[in-house]
Amino acid sequence: MSILVLGVGNILLTDEAIGVRVVEALEQRYSLPDHVEVLDGGTAGMELLEAMANRDHLIITDAVVSRKNAPGSVICLRDDEVPTLFCNKISPHQLGLSDVLSALRFTGEFPKKLTLIGVIPASLEPHIGMTPVVEASLEAALERVLDALRESGVTPQLREAADAK
């Protein structure tokens, strides 16, 4: 079993930082088994190809634009729904992510399972720090990541509980 939790986003563009902040919270608060890798992908594109290839489950956290949902809403997309979403780019890194997913499909290295945990941004203006509405959604997005891990048979342990053993 090989699982990657990948947070992507640009911390210099307000709410675009949410994906990165979710994986930071995951790493800080939880102990995970060795077969689960957590990676801050920042704004990287094709550089992530090797890290994403041949995973049993790839979980991506990111800011996603949706006209159907209010800012701060958390959405969860799976498998074939994900590449379609990235056709509607909101930032430069999403072009790279779409390209990587296409390349993985072309080479036969596409993940067996793909989950996107997306948060609808309120602002993508240049600014360090998220808006209050998106900041408040971090916990819900993290819980969705934990749910996706549990679906793959992983039981995340709170660090305090794991350190006490």
Show me where the domains of the chain are located.
3-164
Using CA atoms, how far apart are residues 46 and 53, in angstroms rounded to an integer?
Answer: 11
Q: Going by CATH, does the domain composed of 3-164 fall within 3.40.50.1450?
A: yes
Give residue 92's pLDDT band: very low, low, confident or very high (50, 70, 90).
very low
Rounded-to-integer distance, Cα 130 and Cα 142, Å: 16
Angle between helices 18-29 and 138-151 (to 10 degrees): 60
**Per-residue pLDDT for 159 more than 90?**
no
Q: Are 65 and 18 in contact (CB under 8 A)?
A: no
Interval 19-74: pLDDT, tens: 999 999 999 999 999 999 999 998 887 888 899 999 999 999 999 887 888 999 99
**pLDDT band, residue 83 (cuts 50/70/90):** low
Nearest one of 76, 60, 59, 74 to 133, comparing CA atoms: 74
